[in-house]
Structure 1
Amino acid sequence: MDSTQQNSSAWDKKVEEGSRYTKSVSAEVIENAKKGNWGITVTTEKTVPRKWFPESLTGVKILCLASGGGQQAPVLAAAGADVTVTDISKKQLEQDEKVAERDGLSLTVLQGDMVDLSEFQDEYFDIIVNPVSNLFVQDVHKVWKEASRVLKQNGILIAGFTNPLLWIFDDEDERKGKLNVKHSIPSSTLDYLPEEDVEDYINSNQTIEYAHTLEDQMQGQIDAGFAITGFYEDDFGGTRVLDRHIKTFIATRAVKL
């Protein structure tokens, strides 16, 4: 089974279903960004601190990595950056193209896998913005290594990812308000299923997700040549029972040394 192709098709389906993370920003958001009043998210609720970015984005080369959906890339382009957005989902990228056409933005759009950035030369980008997405990749170290390769010296990586504690609970029970510790880390969606249900799950065109250790997320960046210079946590905005107890998303700012 090709999990990349599985997740590509699954995200195309999410676009068709109108999932929250496939809904593009409004024309009003873009107009404000053109005036210098902008912000983006890489987790669920909180806005990335403006101080994590240069004072001006004019001419700054930004890669929005695994970031389709018409959310981060158009805003940064409207703020003056030279933006490339890549994603495994064709339909997610079409969301970016629609916003660019609607609001007169210049965007480079490229379908591809976040673990293989061979389309880009070494040390090309000034900033990489990577919203929560590496849960769809089995080996997160490949993401950090490729990000390091295509970033310039002193380039900035802004990444969002899940706190591994999110994955230890049975998802269906948690959504019903019960915290039932059931899974281990690292693991994948398929590990949680009875063997006889795996084929049906794949055929239902759902995403395959991977629960990474915090060490792989944080030390993985450091091993790839980054120094972590910023950190915050986020949650589901109070819509999940876990929000009462712990933040389940993390964002980091890292600089390539």
Structure 2
Amino acid sequence: MSESAQPPGTPSSEPLADAGYRDVPDAEGGAAGRTWWDANAREYLDEHGDFLGPAEFTWCPEGLREDDAHLLGDVTGRRVLEIGAGAAQCTRWLREHGALAVATDVSGGMLAQGRAYDAAAGSSTPLVQADARALPFADGAFDVVFTAFGAIPFVPDADRVHAEAARLLRRGGRWVFAVTHPLRWAFPDDPSEHGLTAARSYFDRRPYVETGASGRVLYAEYHRTVGDHVAELVGAGFVLERLVEPEWPAGHERTWGGWGPVRGALLPGTAIFVCRSARRA
């Protein structure tokens, strides 16, 4: 799960001075995620770790689990790569279900939390620190590549993430990724009724940016419309098979950032794109 499920203004390595929607240099915005996660990994898991579990596969704050959704298909014996894995909860679950799974994340801080989970459970999860836009694996090395709120929202060039997923998949392999539902960007990030009135244009693609007193970009999250996501997928050679919009389940009272039962009853909070590689063999 990603920072998009965190409230703005979470402490980082430098005090927050300003936050809002504005353009920033791609290099600065794209590099901010690693530092932010390194600084906030422990706090993030203190707040959300009980919900995510150390070895559970949760797609989104709505609580959709891979046990029920089966978006990756039968993973037994499959070579699976998780991008933006955080503490590798999903990869750990996959390995327990027979997958040959590997976890990657750009943040050493998050992977350190994953090693702590392994130490507590006596497990051994393959963890690789790497940027999702340049992964250290061979072409066609995986049957499935996925991310649950990782990488894509935090880089200005998500097309490079899709291109890497396409490169790493065998022909016909599956690429599945979950992001904040693009519609949410038109509304305040507020789980109460105040988050039910559109306050900005859905077509305003300026990222949400937090800066420190020095002017340094502490955090950046990028908006793409549904059409943008589809165009990037098609450009990378994927076929979109399903777009899953999980409903907020009855009795689920947990509030997580802008997610919660009030908004969840009326607005989608998550979009999960299920795709198939159509690249040449």
TM-score bracket for this pair, using the shorter chain length:
0.7 to 0.9
Matched, 1:46 2:31: no
5+ residue gaps, structure 1, are 31-38
How far, CA to CA, are the matches of 1:161 and 1:47 in structure 2?
15
CA–CA separation in structure 2 for the residues paired with 1:89 and 1:202:
22
1:102 pairs with 2:131: no
Q: Distance in 1 between matches of 2:227 and 2:188?
A: 22
Question: Where does the alignment leave 5 or more consecutive residues of structure 2 unmatched?
Answer: 1-26, 254-259
**Percent identity of equivalent pairs:** 20
Q: Which residue of 2 aligns with 1:221?
A: 233
* Closer/same/farther in 2, CA of residues 200 and 175 from structure 1, 3 Å limit: farther
Q: 2:215 and 2:261 mapped to 1: Cα distance?
A: 26
**Counterpart contact for 1:8–1:89, Cα < 8 Å:** yes
Task: Assess if the C-alpha contact under 8 Å between 1:231 and 1:253 holds in 2.
Answer: yes
Write the distance in 2 (CA, Å) between the matches of 1:161 and 1:99: 25
Normalized against structure 2, the TM-score is what?
Answer: 0.73
CA distance in 1, matches of 2:206, 2:93: 34
| CA displacement at 1:40 relative to structure 2 | 1.8
Give the whole-Å Cα distance in 1 for the aligned partners of 2:207 and 2:57.
29
Q: Deviations over 1:13-51 (max 9, x none)?
A: 22232344566624xxx5xxxxxxxx6222222123554
Q: 1:65 aligns with which of 55, 79, 83?
A: 83
Give the secondary structure class of the aligned counterpart of 1:211.
coil
SS in 1 for 2:219: coil
**In structure 1, C-alpha distance between the alignment counterparts of 2:154 and 2:33, rounded to whole Å:** 7
Over 6 Å off, 4+ runs: none
Q: Which has the higher contact order (CA 8 A, sep 6+)?
A: 2
Describe the SS at the equivalent of 2:193.
Answer: coil
Number of the residue aligned with 2:53: 25
Match of 2:199, SS? Answer: coil
Q: What secondary structure, in the 3-state scheme, does the structure 2 residue paired with 1:207 have?
A: strand
Query: How far apart, CA to CA, are the structure 1 residues paired with 2:219 and 2:272?
Result: 22
Q: Which residue of 2 aligns with 1:168?
A: 186
Separation in 1, partners of 2:145, 2:115: 19
Separation in 2, partners of 1:229, 1:90: 33
Change (3 A) 1:41 1:185: farther
**Which of 38, 41, 52 matches 1:12?**
38
1:186 paired with 2:214, answer: no
Tell me which residue corresponds to 2:177. Answer: 159
Give the number of aligned pairs: 235
Shift, 1:2, TM fit: 2.6
Normalising by structure 1, report the TM-score: 0.79
Distance change >3 Å, CA 202–CA 243, structure 1 → 2 = farther
User: Partner residue of 1:242?
Assistant: 263
2:132 to 106, 114, 122: 114
More helix by percentage = 1
Indicate whether 1:254 and 2:275 are aligned.
Answer: yes
User: Paired residue for 2:108?
Assistant: 90
Say what the alpha-carbon RMSD is for the aligned residues. Answer: 2.7
Q: 1:166 to 1:54 in 2, by over 3 A?
A: closer
Measure, in 2, the Cα distance between the counterparts of 1:54 and 1:76: 11
1:150 correspondence with 2:168: yes
